[in-house]
């Protein structure tokens, strides 16, 4: 029976990167980069469908990614401080590990928080609505998280407790993350794989719901938060890696569990509020669909090359007609004396033609 379980188990990885000269390219980093590329691809398609200018989604996302990576690392350090500061901050930790991102350790809530700050700065700079950007990229973020979770497999990290399930995960007994006291050959819950599958299912559901309901004004963002936290809560409870423990209401749980529960409640609250405030008129729906902030919409040009909304001078007749249509008073043309005109024409015929010098 045990041999059968081992046969069907997820084997421990035999490769975690490659070297290019003195530089090591880790599989974890490749998964993160692949996730970003996939997220940008999906976001670009959705941005174009919303009428956003081509290329601008990349400009905003660069800000969000840089800020998000910093926030993700900071959140991980705060939520799992022992390795960096020592138990109870006794100073026995290794502060240099804070910079070793390639060894794993990125917290999604730090990425979301600081990534949102970066996106807000960029949207203000380029004239876009932060809610429109957030709605566009939310499914892509979930897709990036799914792909990024593969990196946890290559790092042999973020797995759960022992299991007898046939899909159990093998962890190398000589790996630093192998639980102390566990027997060699013990299988563990592949919680990173659970989260990966949960996220992929979420991407499909969010895109399907958006196609039918047109989630706008932040509704797609909060739908993503609700879906992700609902899954993260129970998956986090299965994990056995070190984490900050918090006691609330007489219950001690990992910090990420309490954070996920709090964010789930907040997301549900926002979805109810935004659902009640959904645009009712065609004008309001059109405004909600726009990615531009008020007053920052691009000026369209007519076929003749003139800007729409600007008046062009096409001659006296058109100017008079425009002024009349606008209700403005137009000075009357002076009356013409017919007799004086006839006399002048008769004199012109009678006089000899003057010669030029």
Local structure of residue 113 (DSSP, 8 states): H
Instruction: For the chain, give the percent of residues with pLDDT over 70.
Output: 81
Q: Say if residues 174 and 110 touch (Cβ distance below 8 Å).
A: no
Q: Could you give the residue ranges of the DSSP H alpha helices within the chain? A: 2-8, 27-49, 56-79, 82-85, 108-126, 130-148, 150-154, 191-213, 219-238, 255-276, 282-289, 316-325, 338-350
pLDDT at 338 over 80: no
Mean pLDDT of 175-182: 92
pLDDT at 321 over 50: no
Other C-beta atoms lying within 10 Å of the C-beta of residue 327: 6
pLDDT single digits (tens) 225-260: 999 999 999 999 999 998 889 999 999 999 889 999
Nearest to 260 by CA among 103, 83, 75, 31: 75
pLDDT, position 116: 92
3-class secondary-structure state, position 125: helix
- In angstroms, what is the C-alpha Rg of the chain? 33
Local structure of residue 305 (DSSP, 8 states): S
pLDDT at 328 over 90: no
Torsion of CA 243, 247, 248, 252, to 10 degrees: 70
- pTM comes to 0.76
**pLDDT band at 148, cuts 50/70/90?**
very high
**pLDDT band at 337, cuts 50/70/90?**
low
Residues 307, 299: Cα–Cα separation, whole Å? 7
pLDDT single digits (tens) 271-306: 999 999 888 888 888 888 888 888 777 766 444 455
pLDDT, position 242: 84
Render the burial of 41-71: b for 16+ CB within 10 Å, e for the rest.
ebbbebbeeeebeeebbeebbebbbebbbbb
Instruction: For the chain, give the percent of residues with pLDDT over 90.
Output: 54
């Amino acid at each position: 029976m045990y041999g059968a379980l081992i046969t069907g188990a997820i084997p421990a990885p035999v490769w975690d990167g490659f070297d290019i000269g003195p530089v090591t390219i880790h599989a974890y980093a490749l998964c993160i980069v692949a996730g970003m590329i996939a997220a940008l691809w999906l976001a670009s398609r959705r941005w174009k469908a919303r009428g956003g200018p081509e290329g601008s989604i990349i400009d905003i996302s660069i800000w969000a990614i840089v800020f998000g990576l910093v926030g993700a690392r900071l959140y991980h350090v705060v939520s799992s401080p022992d390795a960096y500061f020592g138990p109870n901050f006794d100073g026995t930790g290794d502060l240099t590990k804070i910079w070793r991102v390639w060894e794993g350790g990125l917290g999604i809530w730090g990425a979301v928080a600081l990534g949102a700050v970066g996106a807000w700065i960029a949207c203000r700079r380029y004239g876009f609505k932060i809610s429109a950007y957030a709605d566009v990229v939310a499914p892509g973020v979930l897709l990036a998280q799914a792909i990024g979770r593969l990196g946890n497999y290559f790092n042999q990290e973020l797995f759960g407790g022992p299991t007898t399930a046939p899909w159990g995960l093998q962890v190398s007994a000589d790996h630093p993350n192998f639980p102390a006291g566990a027997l060699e050959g013990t299988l563990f819950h592949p919680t990173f794989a659970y989260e990966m599958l949960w996220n992929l299912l979420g991407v499909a559901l969010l895109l399907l719901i958006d196609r039918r309901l047109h989630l706008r004004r932040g509704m797609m963002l909060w739908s993503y938060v609700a879906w992700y936290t609902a899954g993260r809560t129970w998956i986090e409870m299965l994990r056995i890696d070190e984490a900050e423990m918090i006691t609330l209401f007489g219950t001690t749980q990992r910090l990420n569990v309490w954070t996920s529960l709090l964010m789930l409640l907040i997301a549900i609250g926002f979805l109810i509020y935004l659902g009640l405030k959904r645009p009712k008129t065609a004008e309001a729906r059109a405004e909600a669909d726009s990615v531009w902030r008020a007053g920052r919409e691009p000026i369209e040009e007519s076929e003749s090359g003139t800007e729409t909304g600007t008046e062009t001078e096409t001659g006296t007749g058109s100017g008079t007609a425009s002024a009349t249509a606008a209700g403005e008073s137009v000075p009357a043309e002076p009356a013409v004396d017919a007799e004086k005109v006839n006399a002048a024409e008769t004199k012109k015929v009678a006089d000899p033609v003057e010669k030029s010098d």
